[in-house]
Every structure is written in structure tokens, then in C-alpha cells.
A = this chain, B = another copy of it.
Amino acid sequence: MAEPHTVPRADDRADDTPALTPDLVRQVLEAGDAEAVRARLAPLHAADAADLLERIAPDERSAVLEALRGVLDPDILAELDETVRGEVVEQMAPQELAQAVARLDDDDAVEVVADLDEETRRDILARLPQADRLAVEQALTFEEDTVGRLMQRATVVVPAYWTVGETIDYLRADASLPDTFFDIFIVDPRHRPVGSLPLSRILRNRRPVGLAEIMDGEPVMLPVAMDQEEAAFLFRQQDLTSAPVVDESGRLAGVLTIDDVVDVIDEEHEDDILKLGGVYEDDLYHAAAATTAKRFPWLLVNLGTAVVASLVIAQFEATIEAIVALAVLMPIVASMGGNAGTQTLTVAVRALATRELSATNAMRIVVKEVLVGGFSGMLFAAIAAAVTLAWFGNWLLGAVIAAAMVVNLLVAGLSGVAIPLALDRMRIDPAIASSVVLTTVTDVVGFFAFLGLAAAVLL
């Protein structure tokens, strides 16, 4: 009997198991032993093998692929990061690539083919068996990131007048059905879905029971053109495991399953987090020059906002010349505004993404965040004033920094929620644009309030 094998942490596995260390890969490669490379990769799950290929250096990757020529598990292709897959695909002969694509599930095949350049794509499509080619071509007619692109086209459909027994007989007899599925769909004579039925319910009812009696009627249907994030929201909100996808005329076109939705959720996650950090796309596997080029525009915009902040400071050159302590203290007010505003902004951007923040409760959240800004402002005004008094022994300077702190943290609270709301209203992605607008505001207000008050009070 198999002992229960508790699963080790995946990063331990990746670094400790002999089959996986890049050093071993290197040794095996140096020995020129292609058979050994194959033997070591064979027992790995495709996703783990893909991770290994991503982690090793490009020249090692190329050598491993050479050893795997003709025996590469096509699922590894589907699991690879886009950038790395691009390199891998370039190394494969067209016939080899076409054979790999033909062996993939239709949704994975679409993903791999969609990323190819125009010419290679045509070449590969021409080499596919006709049924596969038509399926991929049809999928490619849907926009990227739509349900139509993501769905599985192979579905199990039966008419409503069938019984449990007839359904089971059909499932046993038809070899062309997909290998694994969670629900079957009941369609009317025009192939429009009228119900869905989880497999467990088929198994729990007796053969003479009619499907119409036990099916879930009025299934949630997803139009082929629906945005995939929209679909992911529905899956989470209604705890769906699969949902029928329908074309413009309401006919069943395919099925979206929760395992595809998990990938969408991960993509969304990646998108949100990278954009908030000022990165447009995952560039971990890009070369340094390509990465620099991709990140440049965001930094350029930020340089612009930094120069705007400097222009504000420049208005107070005379004040700073008179009291140089102002130059020492001024970054404190600006940076506290930026940090407090970022806290508010993070909560607001996330709430917009999860749809917890909408026109309905926007005003209440804005009021709350302004209050939070006010409270924090008073707390940090007191602390900053105390630090300033201790440092420079000047209570008037302490009063100035305190007042500027209150002003800037109030503005930060307001801007932290108002900016993402406004961008969302303007249909600009709040995740990418909010933080640069926010820090411009908190820098400008921070420097202006502090230096302006100082000029008025201290000179």
C-alpha cells in the first residue's frame, strides 16, 4: 500500500531534488548525454518541467530542448511563460511545433498559436489536421481576453427529454466526448442551453428519471464576447464550476470551466500588482535592454512629476536661503503625504477591482478616508512638531510643520480615493495611473503648504 506522501514545499523540491537542480542539468548536458536529460525530465509534471526550463540560463535551456527534440511533452509548451515560450518555439522545426500543437487540448493550442508571429502562425495552422485547424482558427476570431478565446469547444450536450439511463448509455458509447468534464448541458432543438446538470446528480438518480426533472434550469450563460474578468467575477460570485458559453444567436458554443477561470484570476492579480508598482507587464524573463525599454515610459512620467515638485520648491528659494532647516525638513511632509495617500489608494483600487466600491457607497468611503486623513494628520502633526522642536529648538518651525502635515494628510486621504474613482469614471485603469497622480498631488501640496506657511510665518 502506498504510504501517504506528504508534499514538500515546492521551492524545496525545486532546489533540492536531484532531478531539478540546474547544476545537475549542466553536468548532464556537459556529458552530452541526451538520454539522461530525457530521463530526468520525464517524471516531472509539465508545470514543474516548465518552471525548470524558465529558471535555467538561456543556453542551458537551448541544450535541454535539443536533447528533447521530438519527445518534448506538448503540455510543457502550454505551461511556459510567454517570453520563454517564444524562445523555445523559435528553436523548434515547424513540423515538430505543429505536431506538439495538435496534441494539446484545444484551449491550450489556441494560446500557443495566438502568440506566434503572423507568418509562423499561418505555417503551423496549415500543418495541423483539419479539425484542429478549424477549431483554432475559429477561436482566434474572438478577441483576446474574451470568453470565446478561453472556452473549451468540446462539450457534452443532451436533449431535455432524455432520461438518466439514456444519458449514461450515451456517455459510455460515444468515444469522441472530452476526457474530463464536470457538468453536462441540456439544449433545446436549436442548440440553445436550457439547463445544466452536475455529474454527481446524474450518478445519484435512477435510470428512468427524466433530465428535465433534475436539471438546474436557467443556467448563467456567458456570451462569447464577454470579457474574461467579467466571467471570473461571475464564477466567484455565484460559486460556479462551469458555465455554458453562447454565440450571438444564443446557441451553445462551448463551456468555461473553473480551472480556466483560476488562470484568469492569476492574470488579473498579476496585472493589478504590477501596474500599481509601475510595471506594464511581467518582465522577469525579459533581457535587461528590453526590460529597460518597457519600464522607461513610467519613469519618464515620474521624472515629469518630480520636476513639477521642484518647480514648487523653486518658488521658495529665497525662503530656503534664509532658513536652510526648511530644506532639511521639507521631504518629511511630502513623503508622509505620499505614504498615507498610497494606503488609501491601495484599498480603493482593490475595492474598485472587486466591485466593493461603486457609485452607491463612494461618497461614504470618501468621507471616511478624509476623516482618516484628518486623524492621522493630527497624530503626525504632534509627532513631527515634537521632533522639530527637539532638533531645531524652534517652536514656530514646529507649528509650521504640524499645520502642513494636517493639510497634506487631509489632501492625501481625499486624493487617495477620489483619484481612482475619477480615473475609473473616465475609463482609465486606476491601477496604472492612480499612484503617479497621487504622488504629484501630495508632493506639490506637501512642499507648497510647508514652504508657503514658513514664508508667511517665519520670515
Contact = CB atoms under 8 A, between A and B. Distances in A.
B324 A192 contact: no
Contacts of A194: 1-2
12 contacts: A2-B192, A2-B217, A22-B361, A56-B360, A180-B201, A199-B200, A202-B203, A239-B259, A273-B346, A288-B368, A299-B343, A307-B387
Contact of A336 (B2, B287, B306, B339): B306
Contacts of A300: 383
A15 B310 contact: no
A171 B346 contact: no
Nearest to A332: B306
B278 A276 contact: no
Contacts of A282: 347, 350
A395 interface: no
Closest 9 CB pairs of A and B: A277-B346, A4-B250, A288-B371, A327-B327, A199-B199, A292-B375, A306-B332, A269-B269, A47-B237
B237 A48 contact: yes
Interface in A1-17: 1-7, 9-11, 14-15
A132 interface: no
Interface stretch (A64-72, A94-102, A136-144, A221-229): A221-229
Given A55-B358, A306-B336, A346 B220 contact: no
Interface string A327-359: 111111011100110110111011100011111
A413 to B, nearest CB: 9
A103 interface: no
B203 A199 contact: yes
A309 B284 contact: no
A310 B326 CA distance: 10
Given A57-B364, A320-B320, A192 B4 contact: yes
Contact of A188 (B1, B177, B261, B299): B1
B223 A204 contact: no
A419 to B, nearest CB: 14
Nearest to A345: B277
Most buried by B among A180, A347, A379: A347
Interface string A216-246: 0110111100100010011111110100001
Contact of A347 (B22, B45, B238, B274): B274
Contacts of A278: 339, 342-343, 346
A166 interface: no
Main secondary structure of the interface of A (DSSP, over half): helix
Interface residues of A, number: 146
Contacts of A346: 273-274, 276-279
B329 A310 contact: yes
Interface of A: 1-7, 9-11, 14-15, 21-22, 45, 47-48, 51, 54-57, 81, 168, 171-172, 177-182, 188, 190, 192-194, 198-206, 217-218, 220-223, 226, 230, 233-239, 241, 246, 250, 258-259, 261-262, 265-266, 268-270, 272-274, 276-279, 282-284, 287-289, 291-292, 295-296, 298-300, 302-303, 306-307, 309-310, 313-314, 317, 320-321, 324-325, 327-332, 334-336, 339-340, 342-343, 345-347, 349-351, 355-361, 364-365, 368, 371-372, 375-376, 379-380, 383-384, 387, 439, 443
A364 to B, nearest CB: 7
A369 B310 CA distance: 28
A171 B279 contact: no
Nearest to A52: B360
A309 B327 CA distance: 11
A442 B365 CA distance: 33
